[in-house]
Amino acid sequence: MRYFPLFHDLRDAACLVVGGNEAAARKVRLLQRTEARLHIVAPELNEELAALASAGEVEWHARRFRAKDLEDKSLVIAASGDERVDGRVSRLARARRLPVNLVDRPALSSFIVPGMVDRNPVTIAIGSGGSAPVLVRQLRERIEALLPARLGDLARFADRFRPAVKSVIPGEEGRRHFWSRFFRGPVAEAVLQGDDRRATDGMLTLVNSAPEGRDNQQGSVALVGVGPGDPDLLTFRALRLMQEADVVVHDRLISEGILDCVRRDAERIHVGKAKGAHSMSQDEINRLLVQQARAGKLVVRLKGGDPFIFGRGGEEQAYLQTHEIAVQVVPGITAATGCAATAGIPLTHRDMASAVTFATGYSREGLPDLDWQALAAARQTLVVYMGVSNGGEIAKRLMDKGLSAQTPIAVVEKGTLPEQRVLGSHLADLGDLLKREQVEGPAVLMIGSVAASAQNLTPAETPLALAV
């Protein structure tokens, strides 16, 4: 290891930047995150640095670099763009044993500036010794995506309670166990969600119960929508919770690609719900979630699409709240929007559809009792979930209420996944199309003029022209 990573305390330290161009401005932006006093030496400044100087945020010396500029400085950056000037800055700074950095010239620098992920006071530095700056940037972007925006708030929140925890929990090992549980528990999650009042109340309860030796850090449940199947469509919060989970409860609609994103040592419980083949009833799933949370575990309930759109998320949330289990809901991209995007179908369009309706095509009693007259209205898009088995009857009901038999339809099977199929036809053919193409699902039915916009159509055995 040539470069040893350190965090330099620049509070009230005088730092010198030589140069007034864009390269110098990038370094000034970084140094402004600290509490350093910034001095810039340059005959001219670009617009950004000139504005900072006018606002008094930096001290500008409008001239060329002089050796005496190094006096009383704690850190030096040379970014003038003139090799002779920057080289001289480096030689003089090294002679004074001052840490010096030349932009993009590690050989003449005594330190390099790493790629940084800033969640003040949490900071992550990434370096390659100057050998692969593009790789460093890509790693920084990946880490940025994984870390919650309020991670710094969580660190400051914990710091507020450190004295209290130290006073009531004897021994370093006991405190380490407390904080380990805290950072993966519901109180920390409340901080990350910006709910400081709930977090503070929860933390006071944890600290006050600690002297009695009660380990009452009850777990929590997250109802996480994972979208229609493509792991790239996961939200940042969904991915973070999947990586933190102790227990993951999932059903058959969760793709292997999604499950590959789950923390490897998390317990996985397959509840296997499918039409006509429920391996675990909804009541059993509800009790399972409560049981696991009361055991102090972070439980993630994975749901295809969005938990609150035909995902029974509302039922599970109500049950958990009734049993005083902390629960959060993480929205996901629902099948309608995900499948429409991959099929090139705009769900609303100024010239064709001014409304969109989501409906379910299945219930335990068969076809749901829906307002078919309203669903058959013109200038709207109807998206039917779980409608494969009743597709023919759905089409009949809509036509009976006046919707044209030539209304364009599209069936998107296994949307967003590599095996996706997009089938197009018209309403009168819907039932036959589903049988002819042996559509099994998961699939969504899109009915309305916008369905004629479907792209990447899968070749059908009997091609049918779409009526527009």
213 to each of 40, 57, 182, 206, how far by Cα in Å?
A: 57, 51, 16, 11
Buried-state track 395-422, b at ≥16 Cβ within 10 A, e below 16: bbbbbeeebeeebbbbbbbbbbeeebbb
Ranges assigned E (strand) in 189-246: 220-225
Distance (Å, whole) CA 268 – CA 286? 16
For the cut 90, the answer to whether the pLDDT of residue 413 exceeds it is yes
Q: 3-state secondary structure string, 98-132?
A: CCEEECCCHHHCCCCCCEEEEECCEEEEECCCCCC
Q: 3-state secondary structure string, 353-409?
A: ECCEEEEECCECCECCCCCHHHHCCCCCEEEEECCCCCHHHHHHHHHHCCCCCCCEE
- Give the SS3 label for residue 433: helix
Ranges assigned E (strand) in 26-86: 37-41, 59-61, 75-78
- Quickly state the pLDDT bin for 459 (edges 50, 70, 90): confident
Question: Which tokens sit at 307?
Answer: 């938990």
- Quickly state the pLDDT bin for 1 (edges 50, 70, 90): confident
- What is the spatial order of strands in the sheet that 443-447 belongs to? 356-360, 381-385, 443-447, 408-413, 421-426
Average pLDDT over residues 70-83: 96
Read off the pTM.
0.71
DSSP for 133-155 reads HHHHHHHHHHHHHHS-TTHHHHH
The closest of 27, 61, 26 to 43, measured between CA atoms, is 61
Q: How many CA atoms lie within 13 A of 260 on its CB side?
A: 7
The closest of 315, 259, 320, 312 to 288, measured between CA atoms, is 320
Distance (Å, whole) CA 190 – CA 31? 31
Question: CB neighbours of 126 closer than 8 A, spacing ≥ 6?
Answer: 114, 115, 116, 117, 136, 139, 140, 143
Confidence (pLDDT) at 415: 92
Distance (Å, whole) CA 354 – CA 379? 6
- Quickly state the pLDDT bin for 217 (edges 50, 70, 90): low
Of the ranges 272-286, 360-374, 403-417, which is most confident?
403-417
**49 phi and psi, to 5 degrees?**
-70, -35
For the cut 80, the answer to whether the pLDDT of residue 356 exceeds it is yes
Confidence (pLDDT) at 463: 41
Query: How many contiguous H segments (helices) and E segments (strands) does the chain have?
Result: 16, 17
Q: Which long-range contacts (CB under 8 A, 24 or more apart) does 154-163 make?
A: 154/183, 154/188, 154/191, 154/192, 155/119, 155/121, 155/122, 156/121, 157/191, 157/196, 157/199, 157/203, 158/182, 158/183, 161/203, 161/207
Confidence (pLDDT) at 461: 44
Distance (Å, whole) CA 378 – CA 367? 22
Q: For the chain, state the CA radius of gyration.
A: 30
- Give the SS3 label for residue 175: helix
Question: Which tokens sit at 59?
Answer: 């001290």
Average pLDDT over residues 450-457: 89
Average pLDDT over residues 364-388: 92
Domains detected in the chain: 1-113 (3.40.50.720), 151-212 (1.10.8), 220-330 (3.40.1010.10), 336-453 (3.30.950.10)
Query: What value does the mean pLDDT of the chain take?
Result: 91
- Quickly state the pLDDT bin for 275 (edges 50, 70, 90): low
Indicate which residues carry an active-site annotation: 251, 273
For the cut 80, the answer to whether the pLDDT of residue 247 exceeds it is yes
- Tell me: the pLDDT tens digits for 168-181? 988 888 888 888 88
Distance (Å, whole) CA 192 – CA 151? 7
- Tell me: the pLDDT tens digits for 3-62? 888 899 999 999 999 999 999 999 999 999 999 999 999 999 999 999 999 999 999 999
Q: Do residues 298 and 185 make contact, with C-beta atoms less than 8 angstroms apart?
A: yes
- Quickly state the pLDDT bin for 212 (edges 50, 70, 90): low
If you search the block for the tokens 């969760």, which residue do you land on?
A: 254
